[in-house]
Amino acid sequence: MSAKKKKKKSSGQGTSFVITLVTLSIVFVFFGYLIGQYAVGALKEQHEASMQVARQSTSAPVVARESNPTPVSTVNPTSSTPVQSTQPKASTQPEPSSSSGTLYRVQVGVFSERANADRMVAMLKEAGYEGIVIPGPPHRVQTGAFSSQENASKLVDELVKKGFEAIVVR
């Protein structure tokens, strides 16, 4: 009789253990799902905020560049004659805008660290160009915004001659 009681007791413990294990598994899966949903929502908000900042920062240089139509000239330190800067000059007549409103930008670098992007902007300023950092990661360094791809390509050629790696992006 005591053997039967021991058998019933041990099978009851095994069943109880399995039920507890299944219950805990369901609870952990549910909490994992909730945490995952929270993380995805937070990442979406962060992405939308960074895209909004990027849109705002890329629109500002376009207005500033077109509002200053006077060319910049500097004096070459080895001679006293003024040398025209290779900085892109805004024309007195506005460029015809494309029907789609596409802007062509010149990208000079893409960096995983903001400090490296800031160094590239400083190098651009030393060469006589304005530069902006599109926040990331990746942090993209861009200069110039043009309505025609030809003008952007001209700036790329100038930058390549000065030792920069540059491409045209939309």
Our count of domains for the chain comes to: 1
- Residue 78 is assigned to a structural domain of this protein: no
CATH code assigned at 68: 3.30.70.1070
Banded pLDDT at 103 (limits 50, 70, 90): confident
- Residue 79 is assigned to a structural domain of this protein: no
User: pTM, whole model, 2 decimals?
Assistant: 0.42
What distance lies between CA 27 and its chain's CA centroid? Answer: 38
In angstroms, what is the C-alpha Rg of the chain? 31
Q: How far is it, in rounded angstroms, from Cα 169 to Cα 51?
A: 16
In this model, does residue 168 exceed pLDDT 70?
A: yes
Highest mean pLDDT among 1-15, 71-85, 100-114, 116-130 belongs to 116-130
Banded pLDDT at 151 (limits 50, 70, 90): very high
| Residue 94, domain extent | 1-72+84-170
Q: Are 121 and 109 in contact (CB under 8 A)?
A: no
- Residue 77 is assigned to a structural domain of this protein: no
